[in-house]
């Protein structure tokens, strides 16, 4: 019985770590300006500098070394790209269901195996379904800002 418990715990931890991989979290490539460089001028963004200063502004464009923004409709600013820690969209958007389903499935498999061992296979399968649905529901309710740039 101890061997079975160790196997179940090891499997659960493996699934948990596997599903927490960065590929499932839809992140921007750190240090890459590509996503921001392709955005149209006029989009509302939030720029966070390395000193943690946050600037809510309008994107005017980018150059090789600078980010061009407008804080108010007439005040244009140039910020050196080396001073920028993160740029996000101001508008919030719905999250992808992919990572919520993966987290729910990973936790569901772990707890489903434990539940299935003590209460039967049907209970284990039900646990997997409930956790997967819960993960999808949490993602459906979650709104976040799109990360356009993040420093390394």
Order across the sheet with 44-49: list the strands: 76-80, 66-70, 54-62, 44-49, 84-94, 143-150
Residues 116 and 85 grouped into a single domain: no
Contacts of 89 (CB under 8 A, 6+ apart): 43, 44, 45, 46, 145, 146, 148
The residue range of the domain holding 49 is 45-94
Tell me the CATH number at 85: 2.30.30
**Are residue 77 and residue 99 in the same domain, yes or no?**
no
Instruction: Please report whether residue 37 resides in a domain.
Output: no
E strand residue ranges, 3-118: 44-49, 54-62, 66-70, 76-80, 84-94
Q: What is the pLDDT of residue 23?
A: 41
Q: Which residues pair with 147 in a beta bridge?
A: 88
Q: Say what the pLDDT of residue 83 is.
A: 95
Tell me whether residue 115 is in a domain. Answer: yes
Q: Determine the Cα–Cα distance for residues 136 and 62; give it in Å rounded to an integer.
A: 36
**Residue 38 belongs to a domain:** no
Mark whether 104 and 70 lie in a shared domain: no
Q: Are residues 76 and 121 in the same domain?
A: no
Q: 143 — phi, psi (to 5°)?
A: -120, 140
Residue-by-residue DSSP string for 64-80: SSEEEEESSSS-EEEEE
Segments of the chain assigned E as strands: 44-49, 54-62, 66-70, 76-80, 84-94, 143-150
Res 24: pLDDT: 39
- What SS3 state is found at 42? coil
On whether both 52 and 21 belong to a single domain, the answer is no
DSSP β-bridge partners for residue 79: 67
pLDDT at res. 16: 53
Same domain, 78 and 56: yes
- Measured CA to CA, the distance from residue 108 to residue 100 in angstroms comes to 12
Do 88 and 53 share a domain, yes or no? Answer: yes
- Sequential pLDDT tens for the chain (152 residues): 555 555 555 565 555 555 554 443 445 678 889 888 888 899 999 999 999 999 999 999 999 999 999 987 777 899 999 999 999 988 776 666 676 777 777 777 777 777 777 777 777 777 778 877 777 777 777 667 788 899 88
Pairwise CA distance, residues 102 & 93, whole Å: 20
Q: Both 56 and 12 in a single domain?
A: no
Count of domains observed in the chain: 2
User: Are 122 and 85 in the same domain?
Assistant: no
Q: Is residue 8 part of a domain?
A: yes
Are both 110 and 73 inside the same structural domain? no
């Amino acid at each position: 019985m101890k061997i079975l418990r160790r196997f179940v715990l090891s499997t659960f931890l493996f699934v948990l770590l596997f599903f927490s991989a960065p590929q499932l979290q839809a992140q921007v490539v750190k240090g890459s300006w590509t996503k921001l460089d392709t955005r149209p001028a006029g989009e509302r963004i939030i720029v966070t500098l390395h000193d943690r200063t946050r600037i809510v502004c309008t994107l005017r464009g980018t150059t090789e070394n600078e980010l061009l923004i407008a804080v108010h409709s007439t005040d244009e600013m140039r910020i050196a790209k080396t001073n920028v820690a993160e740029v996000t969209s101001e508008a919030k958007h719905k999250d992808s269901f992919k990572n919520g389903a993966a987290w729910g499935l990973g936790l569901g498999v772990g707890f489903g195996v434990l539940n299935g061992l003590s209460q039967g296979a049907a209970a284990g399968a039900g646990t997997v379904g409930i956790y997967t649905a819960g993960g999808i529901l949490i993602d459906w309710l979650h709104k976040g800002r799109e990360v356009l740039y993040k420093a390394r």
